[in-house]
A = this chain, B = another copy of it.
Amino acid sequence: MTKYSYDETEAFKAGRDVWFEMRGPKAAQALLDQAAEHEMTRDLRQFLFEHCFAAVCARPGLERATRSIITISVLTALGRTEELKSHIRMGLNNGLTREELKEIFLHGGVYAGAPAAVSAVRAAMEEFEALDKANPQAKG
């Protein structure tokens, strides 16, 4: 049993559903429970479900893989490395290939500066390594 509970609004549930699909249900549930241990992380998670994942990822008009491309491009440009890693993983789940990710980083590096590409590649390599360790047969 977790310490704090979420406010199960319609928007929360819509955001959570999207996130569970994109993140994988097992890892998602673990992170959700962990966030519920503190008021600050619970409120952040509630906010992210309602105002990020429900607000845009659940909108029609763009395929989910395309939304991943936008998110990853923005995070590459802004140098938000920790968040980028988590969206690289979700992007792969949404159907992006490692080759496409590589192209996003190099392309982004032209418009946001070469160091943006360098640190995105570093983040991706760490994430790929973690994925390959967890699932050696799927190695990309």
So how many copies of this chain end up in the complex?
Answer: 6
Residue in contact with A51 in the complex, picked from B76, B110, B118, CB distance below 8 Å: B110
**Cβ-based interface call for A69 (8 A):** yes
Contact of A131 with B by CB under 8 A:
no
Q: Which of A21-55 contact B (CB under 8 A)?
A: 38-41, 43-44, 47-48, 50-52, 55
CA distance A64 to B104 in the complex (A): 12
Complex alpha-carbon distance, A11 and B55, angstroms: 12
Contact B125 A41 (CB under 8 A): yes
What separation, in Å, do the CA atoms of A98 and B118 have in the docked complex?
25
The A interface is mostly helix, strand or loop, or mixed, namely helix
> Within A59-112, which residues are at the interface with B (CB < 8 Å)?
59, 61-62, 66-67, 69-71, 73-80, 82-83, 98-112
Size bracket, chain A contacts:
35 or more
Contact (Cβ within 8 A) B114 A61: no
Q: Determine whether the beta carbon of A118 is less than 8 Å from that of B73.
A: no
Most buried by B among A67, A75, A112, A122: A112
Q: Which A residues contact B (CB, under 8 angstroms)?
A: 11, 38-41, 43-44, 47-48, 50-52, 55-56, 59, 61-62, 66-67, 69-71, 73-80, 82-83, 98-119, 121-122, 124-125, 128
